[in-house]
């Protein structure tokens, strides 16, 4: 059994572009070369021996990929920590806006499934709600200068829209007076 890990690790570190696509192409070529070499082995290897070699090769690929994943995560974490506080805050606000968009899309999908008349209302209301809560690129760029005020405004808008969705879905019978 060969030491596939060191060979694959050296080959990956020698790649000019260390993207996933470049690594995947390298892995595919190495798989083809390994299968060809194992099939031409003299004396011929048993199916179990072939399976063991291929399994060891795939384990080495997984180990290399895991190391690359952790290195990328560490690098991104260090880059994030090096950012100014205001920029980190803005990135967090943008992530919050994406989260709200997903939740609103889920809620709107649920409302659409409730029936024909409600479906039409949810469709129109959903577009209006998304337009109100999710800032456009221009608003996001302008909001970066405002910092915390921008995020707070998005949070308040999302809260108000959440109340509107609740009322449109369940009516005023559950509204506290």
HEC sequence for the chain = CCCHHHHHHHHHHCCCCCCHHHHHHHHHHHHHHHHHHHHCCCCCCCHHHHHHHHHHHHHHHHHHHHHHHHHHHHHHHHHHHHCCHHHHHHHHHHHHHHHHHHHHHHHHHHHHCCCHHHHHHHHHHHHHHHHHHCCCHHHHHHHHHHCHHHHHHHHHHHHHHHHHHHHHHHCHHHCCC
Looking at residue 116, what is its pLDDT?
Answer: 47
Examine the domain organization and report whether 18 and 67 are in the same domain.
Answer: yes
Looking at the structure of the chain, the number of domains it has is 2
Looking at residue 45, what is its pLDDT?
Answer: 85
Structural domain boundaries, residue 16: 4-81
What average pLDDT does range 145-171 have in this prediction?
61
CA 89/CA 95 separation, integer angstroms:
10
Higher-scoring residue by pLDDT: 23, 122:
23
Examine the domain organization and report whether 77 and 88 are in the same domain.
Answer: no
What average pLDDT does range 72-85 have in this prediction?
86
What average pLDDT does range 138-159 have in this prediction?
59
Examine the domain organization and report whether 100 and 165 are in the same domain.
Answer: yes
Give residue-wise pLDDT tens across range 80-110: 888 888 888 888 888 888 888 888 888 777 7
pTM comes to 0.48
Examine the domain organization and report whether 91 and 33 are in the same domain.
Answer: no
Examine the domain organization and report whether 116 and 164 are in the same domain.
Answer: yes
């Amino acid at each position: 059994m060969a030491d596939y890990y060191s060979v694959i690790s050296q080959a990956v570190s020698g790649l000019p572009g260390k993207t996933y696509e470049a690594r995947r192409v390298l892995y595919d070529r190495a798989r083809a070369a390994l299968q060809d070499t194992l099939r031409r082995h003299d004396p011929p290897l048993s199916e179990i021996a072939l399976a063991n070699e291929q399994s060891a090769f795939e384990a080495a690929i997984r180990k290399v990929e895991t190391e690359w994943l952790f290195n990328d995560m560490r690098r991104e974490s260090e880059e994030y920590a090096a950012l100014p506080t205001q920029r980190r805050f803005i990135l967090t606000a943008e992530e919050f806006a994406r989260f709200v968009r997903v939740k609103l899309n889920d809620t709107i999908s649920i409302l659409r499934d409730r029936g024909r008349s409600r479906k039409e209302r949810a469709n129109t209301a959903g577009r209006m709600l998304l337009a109100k809560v999710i800032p456009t690129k221009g608003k996001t760029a302008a909001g970066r200068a405002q910092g915390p005020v921008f995020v707070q405004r998005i949070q308040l808008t999302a809260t108000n829209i959440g109340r509107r969705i609740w009322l449109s879905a369940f009516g005023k019978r559950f509204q506290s007076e």
